[in-house]
Structure formats: C-alpha cells, structure tokens
C-alpha cells in the first residue's frame, strides 16, 4: 500500500488537490462575476441609513445637501470595490453621526471633497489644475466644474466620458453638445465610428483647453486632418495665408454667421493678451455685439499707441481672424462636400462676413473675452498700423491701402514704360550727312 501511494503521488494528482484548485478557480470566477449589489458588511451598514430616499443635511447658507446613495449604483461603480471608508476615512463609525460638522455650502463641500479625489488620482488632479476649469474655480466662478461635477462619486462608471449617452460635458454645455450631435462628427460617432471626435478628443479629458486660444483652432483640427493643407493646396490659392487668418469652422460650418475677431496678442510670446488695465473700453462687461457699438478706429489707434508706448517691453499686436460667431456654431461641422468654396463669399465688397467685428482678450484659462468694436476699423486709415496685415481684397477695403496699391501699380508699370519709351526714342536712326547741297546746274540758273 505504501508503495502504491508513493506511485500514485508521483504519477497522479491527488483528488484532494484537484478539488482545492477547482474551488479556488470557482471563487475567482464568482468574485469577477459578483452581482453589482454585493457589498461588504461595513458598506452595508453605512447604506442601511444612507440608502434612505430623501436623506439630506441642512447647510449654513440654507441649502440642503443630499446624503442619499443608491447602493446598487455604488456597488457597480469603480469605487465600489474600495468601500466607503476609502474616501471617508475621516468618519469614525463608532461615533457617527455624532456632532454635525458645519458645511458652508454645497459648493464649498464639493471643492473640499475634490481634494480627497486627488489623493488617489494625482495625475488627473494635476492635469485639471492646468486647465480652464481650474482657472475658473480660482477666479471664483460658482459653477466651474470640480471632480464631483463630472464624476458622481458614488456612481463613477469607467468609460462614461467616451460615450455620447453618458459624456458629462453635456450637463453644462447642452447647447454645444446638441450642435455637435447633428454635425458630421456627432453623426459618425453615433454610428459607432469611435475614431470620430467626442468632447475630450479636442478639449482634453481633465486638462480642459480652449482650442481657439493661442495658435488657434487649426492645430486641433490638424491633429486628425493631417493632410488638410495638401488637400486645400489643390484648389485654394495662398493656402497657408488662409489657414492663418481663417478658422476651420468659418468654411466648414456653412450655415454659421461669420465675423472678424481682432485678438490682442503679446508680440514676444505670441500668446493672447489679457484685458488692459485702466482702459475704459475694457472696464465694463464684455459685449460681443458689433455694428455701431464699441471702439471706433480712432480709439483703437489711440489704444495701440498707449499699449506700445516708449519703455514697454512686450509690445501688443493685433491678429485678425475670420471665425464663426459662437461656440455653438463652431461645433456644427458639416461634411467636407458642404464646405464653402466660393471665393466671392469673402472676396467681394460688402461681404456679410465682414459686417460684424469684435476685439478680444484672454480671460480665465485663455477663454477669449469679446468686446464690441465698429466695423469701420476694417476700412479706416487709422487701422493700418493695427490691422494692416489683415486685408482681404474686395472685403476690407481700406481706401488709403487701395490708393497706395493703385499708385504702386502705376509706378510699377509707369516707370518701366517710361524707360522703354526713352530707349526707343534714343534708338531711332538719324541722317548724319547734313542738308543736301544744290547741284551745279541749279546753281548756274540761280546766278543767271
């Protein structure tokens, strides 16, 4: 028997070991496929109260903070496996609820809880701190998003930001999302083409940026449309110049209203300049409406002279850009076949795109802030030092520039023509023999 057991141990797996391995595998599978409602005893104890519908806490400012938590959603969330104590380590269960902790407001509570998120999500918290949302929070914006604004802490689902149905951006930017949903980008995404951009594709996930700031929207578009320049060079003259002064949606959102935006920029850093301090035209609330309101050509000239006075190191320049009138219109991107390709849309006198003009500076996080300015700045001699580089033949017809252009053409053509005329006159053949002398017969007759 002993020899038999030894042979069996050497050549076969004991039945007991097989059972143990099978049990371990079964437990692992059960753990992976555990129902969403599975909660630890400690978490179940917390939810015995917090799962009560309508549970809330009155705050110092009169608001009410909801304390209700849906247990099934929490169990199925990415945080469910860590349990309540992972984020609420400051709670002493033995004394809870105990003395009520004062909370100033729901906003203050959200900002405070975001610090807890950063203890695990350090990279995302750092990225967020460099984005436009963080800049708005630092400026005291009462609705600027923090972690819990986009990620419900008790129901965080992995991949929610990558689906049109659950993307959190549309909670605040519903009008923009609706415009995106009807665009070629949204249509492709809804059809299951995951390569088509969603919010985070252009704006980032946590380090939310403003594509229209700095270098402009085209660099964001080129991230996917890498062959855009080559394709446009086939039919569009001065392609690089067009990409410099025209934003992509100005042509690819054909139903949008277009305008000219004059952006104040730092000539050294090439970054958008902030609002000038002490300039009356920039002291009030921004008014993006153009027409007869806002700065006139003479005021703009004086403003630029003041900003670039002697002794100022970083000079201010103006970059003109033809773009759509709103962020909603910027997201109504149509199919390439519907894009504007008719040159007369811009290059004709009285073009609609040049009837609306704004001047902009950089606000919180680089968000452009637009102020009113009259459309006369596109046609005035006062504007030549400021926007001389933004000149569209047939549209921004600055009379003095037209006169100088005509004079240049006349001089360019007239001087060579005069030179050729002089050379032609100088090269004509002349009779060097002098006047003809009378013959002798004629001379005899005259003497007789």
* Maximum distance among all Cα pairs of the chain, rounded to whole angstroms: 177
Q: Please give the Cα distance from 392 to 224 (Å, whole number).
A: 29
How many CB atoms are located within 10 Å of the residue 262 CB? 24
pLDDT in tens, 74-95: 999 999 999 999 999 888 888 8
pTM over 0.85? The answer is no
**Helix, strand, coil % in the chain, rounded to nearest 5:** 45, 10, 45
* 5-19, 172-186, 266-280, 311-325, range with the lowest pLDDT: 5-19
Q: Is the pLDDT of residue 174 over 50?
A: yes
Identify whether 66 is preceded by a cis peptide bond (ω within 30 of 0).
Answer: no
pLDDT in tens, 415-440: 877 778 787 877 767 655 555 555 55
Cβ within 8 Å of residue 134, ≥6 positions away:
128, 144, 365
Confidence of residue 194 (pLDDT cuts 50, 70, 90): very high
């Amino acid at each position: 028997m002993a020899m038999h057991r030894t042979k069996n141990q050497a050549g076969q797996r004991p039945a007991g070991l097989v059972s143990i391995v099978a049990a371990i595998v079964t437990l692992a599978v059960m753990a992976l496929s555990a129902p969403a409602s599975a909660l630890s005893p400690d978490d179940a104890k917390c939810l015995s109260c917090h799962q009560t519908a309508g549970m809330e806490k009155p705050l110092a400012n009169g608001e009410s903070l909801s304390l209700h938590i849906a247990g099934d959603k929490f169990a199925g969330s990415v945080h469910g496996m860590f349990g309540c104590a992972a984020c609420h380590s400051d709670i002493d269960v033995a004394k809870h609820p105990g003395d009520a902790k004062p909370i100033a407001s729901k906003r203050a509570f959200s900002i405070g809880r975001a610090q807890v998120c950063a203890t695990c999500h350090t990279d995302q918290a750092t990225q967020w701190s460099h984005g436009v949302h963080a800049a708005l929070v630092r400026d005291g914006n009462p609705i600027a998003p923090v972690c819990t604004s986009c990620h419900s802490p008790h129901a965080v689902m992995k991949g929610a930001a990558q689906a049109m149905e659950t993307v959190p951006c549309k909670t605040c930017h519903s009008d923009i999302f609706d415009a995106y949903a009807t665009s070629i980008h949204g249509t492709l995404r809804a059809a299951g083409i995951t390569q088509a951009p969603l919010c985070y594709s252009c704006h980032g996930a946590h380090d939310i940026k403003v594509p229209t700031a700095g270098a402009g929207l085209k660099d964001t578009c080129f991230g996917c449309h890498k062959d855009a320049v080559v394709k446009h060079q086939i039919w569009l003259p001065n392609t690089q110049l067009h990409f410099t002064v025209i934003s992509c949606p100005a042509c690819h959102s054909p139903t949008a209203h277009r305008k000219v935006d004059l952006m104040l920029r730092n000539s050294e850093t090439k970054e958008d300049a902030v609002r000038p301090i002490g300039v009356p035209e920039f002291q009030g609330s921004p008014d993006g409406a153009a027409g007869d309101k806002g700065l006139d050509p003479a005021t703009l000239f004086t403003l630029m002279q003041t900003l670039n006075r002697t002794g100022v190191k970083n000079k201010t320049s103006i970059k003109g850009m033809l773009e759509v009138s709103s962020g909603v219109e910027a997201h109504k991107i149509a199919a390439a076949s519907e894009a504007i390709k008719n040159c007369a849309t811009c290059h004709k006198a009285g073009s609609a795109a040049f009837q609306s003009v704004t001047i902009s500076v950089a606000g919180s996080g680089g968000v452009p802030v637009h102020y009113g300015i009259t459309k006369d700045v596109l046609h005035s001699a006062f504007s030549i030092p400021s926007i001389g580089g933004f000149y569209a033949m047939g549209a921004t017809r600055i009379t003095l520039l037209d006169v100088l252009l005509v004079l240049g053409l006349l001089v360019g053509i007239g001087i060579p023509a005069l030179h050729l005329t002089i050379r032609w006159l100088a090269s004509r053949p002349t009779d060097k023999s002098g006047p003809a002398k009378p013959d002798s017969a004629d001379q005899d007759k005259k003497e007789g």
